[in-house]
Amino acid sequence: MLYGELTAAERPDALSLGRALTGAVYEGLSLEREIVATQAQGLGDTVLIEGAGSDLDGLAVCHCGAGSEAGEDVCFVKFGAVRPGPDAGDRFERLLNACEQLATEKGLGQLDAGVNLARQDAYQRMADRGFRTWLQGVTMHRPNAPGYSHPDAYVIDDWR
Q: To which H or E segment does residue 67 belong?
A: none
**Inter-residue contact 79 to 60 (CB < 8 Å):** yes
pLDDT per residue as tens, the chain (160 positions)? 999 999 999 999 999 999 999 999 999 999 999 999 999 999 999 999 999 888 999 999 999 999 999 999 999 999 999 999 999 999 999 999 999 999 999 999 999 999 988 899 999 999 999 998 777 777 777 787 888 888 899 999 986 6
